[in-house]
């Protein structure tokens, strides 16, 4: 066997990450597909309602990640999520929503959703969230889980910026600076600066104490 062939066997081509996006708004599908189109190794399929999504999961799946619009025809609330999880053989299924509420998000996550994504999520955050969920992790924007409806905002959350909350959530989940950076589209040095600021604001000597402070305050 020559060196070229040996190298090919040692480093095979990576498999495609298969994503299904189901939304009855064509513009939303087009936009989300555009976000992912520049990612190498990602293949995207689309569906216009839950019935079509279910058919594609059966005929083309299982997918590495299925994204379902919570309000599209055929979903019937979280019934569509549970059915999609079954059809996708337990593979990750997440919900999209233009009017996301914390109550629905919490119920979806408790029902096995890989995540709950507002349609207003920035492109970079959306792409990182997709990779995160396709890898088997659970994702939900921190701001969605801290304030909603008529509830009073968390006192600690009011002291922090949106980005600091996102970084703090990563710390609480045990992510490294590099992992937080990939998820949020930030450079390592930027994450380190946020961690330093968080420790100062939380009077914490290190990231472990910062995570404990966040938990004790009921932030996450």
Tell me what percent of the residues of the chain surpass a pLDDT of 70: 84
Q: Helix (H, G, I), strand (E, B), or coil: what is residue 122?
A: coil
- Identify whether the C-beta of residue 63 lies closer than 8 Å to the C-beta of residue 18: yes
Class of domain 157-216: mainly alpha
3-state secondary structure 125-150: HHHHHHHHHHCCCCECCHHHHCCCCC
Say yes or no to pLDDT of 140 above 90: no
Say yes or no to pLDDT of 9 above 60: no
pLDDT of 204 reads 87
pLDDT, tens digit, for every residue of 71-111?
889 998 889 999 999 999 989 999 998 765 677 888 888 89
The answer to which of 13-17, 129-133, 171-175 has the lowest mean pLDDT is: 13-17
Say yes or no to pLDDT of 143 above 80: no
14-140 fold:
Rossmann fold (3.40.50)
pLDDT, tens digit, for every residue of 16-27?
889 999 998 888
* Domain residue limits, the chain: 14-140, 157-216
Spatial distance between the Cα atoms of 147 and 149, rounded to a whole number of angstroms: 7
**pTM of the predicted model as reported, rounded to 2 decimal places:** 0.63
Give all strands of the β-sheet with 93-97 in edge-to-edge order.
42-47, 17-22, 65-69, 93-97, 116-118
CA end-to-end span of the chain, whole Å? 55
Average pLDDT value for residue range 146-166: 67
The residue count for the chain:
220
pLDDT, tens digit, for every residue of 164-204?
888 888 888 888 899 888 888 888 889 999 999 999 888 88
Q: Helix (H, G, I), strand (E, B), or coil: what is residue 74?
A: coil
The answer to which of 34-38, 118-122, 163-167, 201-205 has the lowest mean pLDDT is: 118-122
């Amino acid at each position: 066997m020559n060196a070229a062939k040996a190298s090919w066997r040692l480093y095979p081509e990576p498999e495609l990450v298969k994503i299904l996006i189901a939304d009855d708004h064509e513009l939303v599908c087009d936009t989300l597909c555009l976000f992912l189109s520049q990612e190498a190794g990602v293949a995207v399929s689309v569906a216009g309602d839950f019935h079509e999504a279910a058919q594609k999961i059966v005929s083309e799946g299982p997918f590495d990640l299925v994204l379902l619009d919570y309000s599209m025809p055929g979903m019937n609330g979280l019934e569509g999520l549970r059915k999609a999880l079954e059809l996708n053989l337990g593979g990750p299924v997440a919900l999209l929503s233009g009017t996301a509420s914390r109550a629905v998000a919490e119920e979806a996550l408790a029902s096995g959703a890989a995540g709950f994504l507002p349609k207003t999520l920035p492109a970079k955050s959306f792409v990182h969230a997709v990779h995160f969920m396709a890898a088997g992790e659970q994702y939900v924007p921190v701001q969605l889980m801290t304030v909603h409806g008529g509830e009073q905002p968390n006192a600690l959350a009011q002291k922090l910026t949106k980005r600091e909350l996102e970084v703090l959530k990563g710390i609480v989940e045990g992510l490294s600076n590099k992992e937080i950076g990939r998820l949020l589209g930030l450079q390592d040095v930027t994450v380190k600066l946020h961690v330093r600021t968080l420790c100062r604001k939380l009077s914490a000597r290190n990231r472990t104490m910062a995570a404990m402070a966040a938990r004790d305050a009921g932030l996450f």
